[in-house]
Structures are given as structure tokens and as C-alpha cells.
Amino acid sequence: MIQTVIISGGTSGIGLAAAEILAGEGIRPILLGRNEERGKAAQDKVPGSLYIPCDVTKKEDCERAVKAASSIGNIKGLVLSAGIYTEGLLENTTDEEIQKLFETNVFGAMKLTREAIPFLRSAKGSIVAVASDAAMRGNVQCSLYGATKGALTSFIRSLALEMAVDGIRANVVSPGDIDTPLLDRQLKEYGGNKEEMREWYPLDRIGKAAEVGEVIAFLLSEKASFITGAIVPVDGGLTDW
């Protein structure tokens, strides 16, 4: 039977890197994303993958994506990698910005997970959410973003207890700065550069998407069969300063 893993935000960055690694292990990645052009390019890049247009903030999109994935094979895993980033002082933040960030980073993860649980239960599957170092410590001008990633982390840790009776594991990876298109957009909009970022890290560099992808693949696998409710930093020592 074909084993599938659903990856929200699977068309770029960490999600796409995880998909490539999983495909190499014989898993069929189901790539979810809003941008169809980017989705088709990702599908062409990852052997055996399938792109499904999906906006995780919409219940009907989540239902359709999970149903399509289940028609292909057993849903063995769910990777929650869809997310948006913003910086700014809270006093300058609008209600619309607050709603938008929580809709994607938190509520979207909850909606997609809710739809996938019945299928994960039958396969005794695994969930991995992509949070951030901002969920583990305070970051300047990131109170809103950090709040969403903190909420995501708390959600997954509680879900791990809730789903343990069904044999479903749920864990969090918490990356630092990773060389992805999202980081490129962040630097373009808010300033700074990768060389400057490098100096913040004990390992003297920022991370690669594949380095996070490898940890995601491990947590999804049977090699991590006794790990649930964990937060795994993939941050080059950043939060250990």
C-alpha cells in the first residue's frame, strides 16, 4: 500500500525540502500550497509527489486535500509547514494583521489536522509542526509572530497527549533562521543580511532547509517511535546562548 505524507506549505522552503527527503525514502509527498505555479514546479521537482491547491485557512480546502490524499494511499504523516511571517511593534499592528497571522499559522494548522486525524488514526501516523525559535524566547518586534508559533507549539504538545491513546505521535521542530525564500522575503522587507545573521549562531552560520527536513523525516519515521510531545530545536545553538 502506498504511504503518503501531507505537507502544508510543501511547495517551498522547509516543506519542500522535507518532501524531497521523504520521496527518497519511498513516501509519496502530498504538497499543499496556495500558489499553483509554485506548486506545479514543486511537483516536477519531487519524484512521485502530488500537488493539491489548498488554502489551510479554508475548511473546504482542507477537507478536499485530505480526501484526495487518502484516495492515493495510507496517510502516514502530516507536516504543518504553512506559515507567514511579519515584524513590527504591537502598537502599530492592525486587527487585520493579527487575524491574518493567526488564521494561517494557528487556525489553519488546527483545521488541517482535524481533517487528517481519522486517517492518521487508522495508520497510527505521526504529526510534525514547524514552529520557530520565536516560540521559545522573545524576539524583538516579533510579539505577534512569536505568539502564533507559541500557540502552535502548545497545540501540538497538548494534541500529543490527546492522540497518544490512538498511537498517533505529534512533535514540533523549532528552526532558527533557515536559508529559504521566506527568509529572502523577510530580509528584503525588513532589512539585514545573511552574513550579519551568521554571527548570532554558535555554529557560525544559518541553517539549510534540508537540515530541518531531515529532522522532520526522522520524527515521522519509526526511528522516532517513542518520541511524542517533544520540541526539537534545529537552530545551530541559537536558543542555547
What is the per-residue pLDDT across 125-148, written as a single tens digit (0 to 9) for each?
Answer: 999 999 999 999 888 899 999 999
Residue 162 lies in a domain: yes
163 occurs within a structural domain = yes
- Mean pLDDT over 79-88 rounds to 94
Among the options 51, 145, 190, 201, which is catalytic? Answer: 145
> Which of 9-13, 103-107, 166-170, 181-185 has the weakest average pLDDT?
181-185
Segment 90-99, tens digit of pLDDT: 999 999 999 9
* Domain-embedded: residue 238: no
User: Is residue 152 situated within a structural domain?
Assistant: yes
Whole-number average pLDDT of the chain? 96
pLDDT for residue 100 is more than 80: yes
Q: What is the pLDDT of residues 176-225, one digit of tens each?
A: 999 998 888 889 888 899 999 999 999 999 999 999 999 999 999 999 99
Indicate whether 196 belongs to any domain.
no
Q: Is the pLDDT of residue 124 over 90?
A: yes
Checking if the pLDDT of 1 tops 80, the result is no
- Would you give the DSSP letter of residue 104? I
Q: Tell me what percent of the residues of the chain surpass a pLDDT of 70.
A: 100
What domain count does the chain have?
1
Domain that holds residue 218: 3-176+209-233
Residues whose CB falls within 8 Å of the CB of residue 182, separated by 6 or more in sequence, listed in order = 12, 13, 83, 85
The SS3 of residue 219 is helix
User: Is residue 124 in some structural domain?
Assistant: yes
Report the distance separating Cα 141 and Cα 68, nearest Å: 39
Question: What percent of the chain is predicted at pLDDT more than 90?
Answer: 91
Q: 29-59, pLDDT tens digit by residue?
A: 999 999 999 999 999 999 999 999 999 999 9
Asked whether residue 186 is assigned to any structural domain, the reply reads no
In a domain, 193, yes or no: no
Which CATH number belongs to the domain containing residue 223 in this structure? 3.40.50.720
Residue 201: active-site member: no
pTM, two decimal places = 0.96
Q: Angle 146-207-25 (CA atoms, 0-180°, nearest 5)? A: 105
The answer on pLDDT for 228 being more than 90 is: yes
Closest by CA position to 181, among listed 105, 96, 95, 85: 85
Residue 199 CB neighbours (<10 A)? 8
